[in-house]
Each structure stands twice: as C-alpha cells, then as structure tokens.
Amino acid sequence: MSEMTFPLPDVGEGLTEAEIVTWHVAAGDTVELNQVICEIETAKSLVELPSPFTGEVTELLAEVGQTVPVGDPILKVAVNDGVEAPEAASPAAPAIPAAPAAVREDFAHTSADVANSIQKDDEGGAVLVGYGTAGAVQSRRRSGGEPLLGGAGSANPSIPVAHALPVIAKPPIRKLAKDLGVELSHISGTGIAGEILRDDVVRQASQASVFRNIVTPEVPSEREERIPVKGVRKQVAQAMVASKFTAPHVSVFTEVDATRTMEFVKRLKASTDFAGVKVSPLLIFAKAMLWAVRRNPQVNSKWTDEEIIRHNFVNLGIAAATPRGLLVPNIKDAQDLSLLELARAIEQLTITARDGRTQPAEMANGTITLTNIGVFGMDFGLPILNPGEVAILAMGTIKQKPWVVDGEVRPRMVTTVGGSFDHRVVDGDVVSRFVADVASVLEEPALLLD
C-alpha cells in the first residue's frame, strides 16, 4: 500500500482558493474512482470534487468551513502499490461533475434514468469528465459512519437498495433542509426517481410564507452580527466595484405598453408546442434583446485598452438571485435559438442556478446581460454592468396602468425597460436605438417574425 495526496484542483478559470462546504467521506472510508468526496464553494459556484483514487481514506487535511488555497492538500488515500495518480489529480485539472451528486451516488448502479444522465465513455461506464471510468459506487457513510439510507416515502419503491430507499437530494437542498430543521427521510420527493426538490422541503417545513417575506422574524438577541466576506459575495463585491469605477456608465429607460406581450405569452402557454415549458414575459424580453442586438451590434462588444472587440455571437447572460448570491450564467450562442429552444434554455438555466449547480464555465464569456427586477415587484432600477460587457438591460414589473390609446385613456399592461451602457464603446444614439428596439418588440411581438 502507498499513500497518495489529493491537492485542491483549480476547477475553472484561475481559481485561487475555495471553501470546504461538506465532506462526504471520513477517515477509514473506502472510496472509488470518481466517487464524490466533498463539495467546495468557489468564488462563483458550488462544485463537487470526485476522488482521483480508489482506496481507503487515511486523513482529511481540511475542515468544513476552511478556505484552502489551490494546490494545498485536502485528502490522503491509501492505494494499492503500483497505482499511479491520474493526471486529474493535478491542481490545474478541472473536476466537473456530470450529474447530480445524490443521484449519481445512490442510483448509478440501479436506476436507468440516472444512468442516462451520467456521461458514458467508450466502454459504457459512468464517467466524470476528465477522470475516466469509475467502478461500482459503494454506499457512502455520513460523517458519523451510518449508511446513507432512509426516505421511506420515496416515489420509487421498486429500487432495491438494502431494503430501504435512499434520500435523494442535491447539496443545496440538504443544506436548506438542515437550516429549516427538516428531516429529509420524512419527505416524499416529487422529482425524478423520488428526488427531493426545494419545494418539497419548504412544504414540509410549513414555512413557505417565509420565502414570500410575509412573516417578520423576531429581532435577534445579539446586538450585531459579523458575516465573513467570502465566496460569491466577495466575488460580486469586487466585480461590481471594478465595473462601476472603471466603465463610465450611461443609462436610459422608457415606459412600454406590454399588453400585446402579455397576450402573446398567454397564447404560447396554450400552444401544444410549448407544453411543459415555462413561458413568461422574460422569454419575450430575451428574444427582443437578441433581435435588437442584431440591429445594433455595437452593444454586444468588449472594451480593451487597445481595441474594441465586437462579438458576432450572443452569449446572453441572465442575472439570477440565488441562495448563494447573485450569479450571471449565460446561454451560449443564444442568437441561433428558436423561441422554443430559448424558453427551454432559460428554464434550465434558472433551475440550475436555483439548485446551486451553476458551474464556472456556465458564467464565463458572457457578451450582454439582462435582469428582470420585475419579479421582485420593482418598477425599475438601473443595473451595474457585468464586468467585461458593454450593455445590461433591465425590465420592471408589468402591471395595469392608465395609458393613452388613440386619444383615450385605457387600462393597459405597462412596464419599464432600460439599462446601463459603457460610454467608452457606445454613444447615446446607439443606446437609445437599442432600448427603443427592445421596447418595440414588447409593444408588438409580431416584429419577432421578421
């Protein structure tokens, strides 16, 4: 036997450090190649790290809550002599999970649904990208050593796992349940193969009203709280300061009669083509931006000190408020998507961000961003540019207002659209035309048929 050390890898784009969020193994546990050993929180996302070795864990070298520099050792594993560490153990190698952790852990060897969700190599094995084929994944133990069993109310009683059903829940859902004091084994999951979703936890906790800001919490007994600045909050703070005090922001906005947009959304929801797909005014707003970018390509650019780089593709960023903070994942090559494809892409992006599974690559290389502050009931606000981009558009809430139509005051569904722009790249005339084009589509979605 020989002992191998696993250093914290750079899981994407210049990561310098990460916080250990959860250990899924303990000293004495047997681990398989590609078995998820822990979750780490980077400045951008929550990432699962798979084991680069098969063997016995001899020592955990970092504690939960500890921030570890990239390259520092976090785990020691005793392996059979002659087994060499794969290249993936290098600090520079990415460790990108290909499927939800709990599903991969508990059902990889029994559930066809899950097997289809995990990437396959040429030999047909379940693979995590960059680490090769894994053997059969053993049931992991919790930190206390007990088997990962339970969930008698699961929606799929046909899966024979030690005569009990495993609890299937992603790490953010497990954390939410812990925060709310909910026992996951008491919940019947409504997701695929009985996976426990966020709504299941909230419903079980009988605290749905908390998430709608209806219940006012008690005043804490402590006079003050100290919250460490780290992870996503630290990254967002640095990025916003750099953007605000580097790029000279200019902002414009206008009110829009979005009545026809609301009618169009209603028709799409009733269409069989969009059955099972979430449709909202955000979809029309996104499509309007893509149409307007084609007519005003200057806004889809990037400033450098030497040149302006104009993109002939659109990686459309969508600002998402998540339990971990503000994230801006983007839809790659959004300009090539049909309305239905764009709706599916937005839905998947939203679900991934809400569940805390957004990966660094999904937030990289954005070219222009939208934000929908209307979901919070706000009429409008002027956003700060996403660093490296020239334009960001915002849409406020859509609500009924008195509106003059053909000389008569009528009730119409009205919203406000506008945004912020880097004045080094675009001037007021371009900015105004771009926002006016977006407003035109919201007023008359038929323009999208051009």
Nearest to 200 by CA among 187, 186, 183, 209: 187
Count of beta carbons in the 10 Å neighbourhood of residue 347: 16
Q: What are residue 260's phi and psi, to 5 degrees?
A: -70, -30
Nearby residues of 430 by Cβ (< 8 Å), 6 or more positions away: 296, 298, 299
- Residue of 24, 249, 311, 423 marked active site: 423
Tokens of 358: 């957004």
SS (H, E, C) 20-85: EEEECCCCCCEECCCCEEEEEECCCCEEEEECCCCEEEEEECCCCCCEEECCCEEEEEEECCCCCC
The DSSP bridge pattern shows strands 55-60 and 30-31 to be: antiparallel
Question: From CA 201, how far away is CA 189, in angstroms rounded?
Answer: 9
Question: From CA 388, how far away is CA 327, in angstroms rounded?
Answer: 15
User: Are 331 and 354 in contact, with CB atoms under 8 Å apart?
Assistant: no
Q: What are residue 125's phi and psi, to 5 degrees?
A: -85, 160
CA distances from 276 to 116, 267, 269, 343 (A): 21, 14, 9, 11
DSSP-derived secondary structure letter, 126: B
Tell me whether residue 109 is one of the annotated catalytic residues.
no
* Active-site residue list: 423
